[in-house]
Chains A and B, each alone.
Chain A
Amino acid sequence: MSAFFSPFISKPEGVSLIMLKVLLALIPGIALYVWFFGSAILISITLASLTALGTEALMLKLRNRPISPFLKDNSALLTAWLLALSIPPLAPWWLVVVGTAFAISISKHLYGGLGNNPFNPAMIGYAVLIISFPLQMTHWITPHGLGQVELGFFDQLDYIFRGILPDGLKLDAVTMATPLDTLKTQLHMYGNINEIMNLPIYGHLAGQGSEWVATGFLLGGLYLLATRLISWHIPVAYLGTLFITAGLFHLADPAHYVTPLFHWFSGAAMIGAFFILTDPVSGPTTHKGKLIFAAGAGFITYLIRVFGGFPDGMAFATLLMNICVPLIDAYTQPKVFGKKGRLSDKNGGQA
């Protein structure tokens, strides 16, 4: 039976299709990840996906909600993928499972499930892991062509699930610190950017390999923008603020502060700008609010990266700005039709 009240028609694009498109937009970045760092990331993405769907189903059952429509909404998968992409691929299997299960059960379902979580679930999962298991969170794979040894797919599988490396190999031989981390530690030792940038782990703009992964996420993000799945406000404000802040420090003291482009293409900046901060549930709803939210996140990211104790600031920047969302929304309500104090102008908002 058709609906009883108008409107009687609706656009076919539903939540699950939107989430699916966002997942698709992550694929260029993931493909480049595999190209430069091997296929271990696919293992952790699969692991996270299975955990997310299982936890989601369990929580829905516990909460007495219909399971199938919510399992099909793809939101749990998106959380899983974003979390898997934020943690080291060679991390032990339980790290991914614990992080994902925490993200879905505690930070999503305990707050009321889809649409009701005040914090970005993937970033909560990341924050829990980096605080609880800082050591395991540092096992980043050395990019293709840099390490002495490279692990094959089955060696990686073996290590992730059983913690066993091939004979005579130490973990240090196949992993390394991230480019952002290296920068921080090396600065303490050498104190000059130019020397550090000559280290083999750095590429053209930022980390060898990882700069390309970031480019992949940028491409996916441009697809999201082009298909209007996200608006420009958050990525532009985030990357803009990060660029300006980093640029000012860099101009003031180039020997101690890296270029703004380094910050753009390092760590989670790109995936964060287009895929994490743009999570609608935990973000603000007004245009002005989105600008404030993302600008704040960009600034905090920089502060944590350069002056803080963690290698990257994306997750904490997101969570800190998530806290501010109700306030931001309340103070950025736009004026409505006919009440803008102007009788006539050319463009009534963006039409």
Chain B
Amino acid sequence: MEQPTLDVADLTVRFGGVLALDGVSLKVEANEIHGIIGPNGAGKTTLFNAVCGFLRPARGTIRYRGKALLGTAPHQLARLGIARTLQSLGLWPGLTVLENLLVGSRVRPNFFASLLAMPRADRLEWRLREQATQVLDELGIVSVADAHPAALPYGLQKRVILARALMAEPELLLLDEPASGLSAGEIDRLAELVGRLRRRMSVVVVEHHVDLVMAISQRIHVLNFGHVIASGTPPEIRGNREVSTAYLGEDVKTAEGGTGA
């Protein structure tokens, strides 16, 4: 109906002599959950880093809602409506959970309004706190609002990270391994939450947990050694022989073993 939310074409990233990504193309439509799977070192996080402007590709284009994204600095993404979580979380330990969320918002009063503590800075602060409380409530973690993130168990920290990304009210949410380190129950909650987010935004999920990606994604790309080896709907990927030999064959077994536990 319109421009794809994210349109990556022929993306090639080189680290010295190593081709980290080799001619990768993918389209993420509006309100779509798009999974990216592949073994370690396949280039999944590299793809996110290129989209976010953390590294410069050797070739290719990245378009966000029809506009070229290459050359955009990472800090400009939030304003465009792109939010991303990091594999390493990147919570700010010196701030409380609530304060982490406040910084996550795209709205910021200007320097002098803050310096002089003008009423509009206070009003904005109040509005942001209300919004942050709502987001925490949506994720069921409002009780830890005043805690410091380092004091929380890993699963809760991951939920705070997700909450912080949602504070920016993104139109495109890039999740880097949201399920790693989570228990089976927590992964179910995550799947349910991401499914709900789809009504408001497009989501790209880079993930090792294949079952989760299969369950929530409308379309999936499979990367291996920097190449797209398959793309399609979850059933298509499941039936793809190249994928099962390259990656799924081994991982499905371990995943089955994991679900039994």
A and B bind:
no
A residues sitting closer than 8 Å to B (CB atoms) are: none
B residues sitting closer than 8 Å to A (CB atoms) are: none
